[in-house]
Structure 1
């Protein structure tokens, strides 16, 4: 499918970009250099503009292959990248997906991701006819737990040793939201 832009209220959701009109690559490099970001989003490395370009291309390909809907959470007047939200592990036949998100360090603690996750989930239930959306995070990630609660997810339990924090096994907390 083609990327869809969404008015999320105070922000808008758009495809990640790396072109002559809007280039998210510098903001991606900056975000992924943050220590806290690397702690929770350890499975991606975006150390330079070339890697950031590959990251943008990956998200574009995932949209096209119906694997993941991924949006840049953007400031509406400048287009500045404030974070990313997506529906990953997208299974349109089963009607399921999982929320994935991160917030750029200067944009944290402003409610941006609560608004963005809400908009992405509404898109999933409305446009994609999803029946269930999961949200998972490492147990020590209290910001993610607060986000799940604010967005109406229900905690289903934990899976010990299913993720890692600082290189050590940790419990993966599983939340769900059903239509």
Structure 2
């Protein structure tokens, strides 16, 4: 099975709009991706300026256009503010598999926003994309991320190692037919 994300699938929850990223999001995405708190447990290149952030947004837009990943910004229904991001990628079509990744600005943590977005993206992945397995890679000390995964029935895979990121733990959710 291959995926087609055109038109882009906008998702809504009680308090959130999950929509396609665009260049108007550059400043907010820069703030998110340069946050020391957000990056405390993530190993990645941190943008040095808005131009690098625009490059990141372009790369995400290309990933979606090529149907190799789906990436939403999490926006507040109340005030339109960008709270975080969430996405599915690294598809293994033959295994109906994807990885989920997510981040939320510290100002919006511990308010249930990521739980709402996470639930909607899982529903999309399993119902619309017909995925059978979704995995998450999270730092072993990122207790809020681990709690979110466990709340959604992800199971720690102690026998697996994230090559090059030995401090990460791998969690898996499999749906049965």
What's the offset of the Cα at 1:79? 2.6
> How many Å separate the matches in 2 of 1:129 and 1:69?
14
Segments of 5+ residues of structure 2 without an aligned counterpart are none
Count residues with an aligned counterpart. Answer: 170
Residues 82, 104 of structure 1: 8 Å contact kept = yes
SS at match of 2:84: strand
Distance 1:157 1:50, change over 3 A: same
What's the offset of the Cα at 1:25? 0.9
Deviations 1:6-39 (A, max 9, x none): 0122111001111xxxx21111111122112222
Partner residue in 1 for 2:113: 112
Segments of 5+ residues of structure 1 without an aligned counterpart are none
User: Structure 2 matches for 1:1-179, cutoff 5 A?
Assistant: 1-2=5-6, 3-18=8-23, 23-157=24-158, 159=160, 162-164=163-165, 169-170=166-167, 172-179=168-175
> How many Å separate the matches in 2 of 1:143 and 1:108?
9
> How many Å separate the matches in 2 of 1:28 and 1:70?
13
> How many Å separate the matches in 2 of 1:145 and 1:4?
27
Distance 1:29 1:57, change over 3 A: same
What's the offset of the Cα at 1:159? 4.0
SS at match of 1:93: helix
Deviations 1:105-143 (A, max 9, x none): 211111111111111111011111101111121111111
TM-score, normalised by the number of residues in structure 1: 0.87
Residues 66, 90 of structure 1: 8 Å contact kept = no
> How many Å separate the matches in 2 of 1:120 and 1:8?
10
Deviations 1:60-90 (A, max 9, x none): 1111122111100111143321000001212
Residues 158, 173 of structure 1: 8 Å contact kept = no
**Larger strand share, 1 or 2:** 1
What's the offset of the Cα at 1:152? 2.0
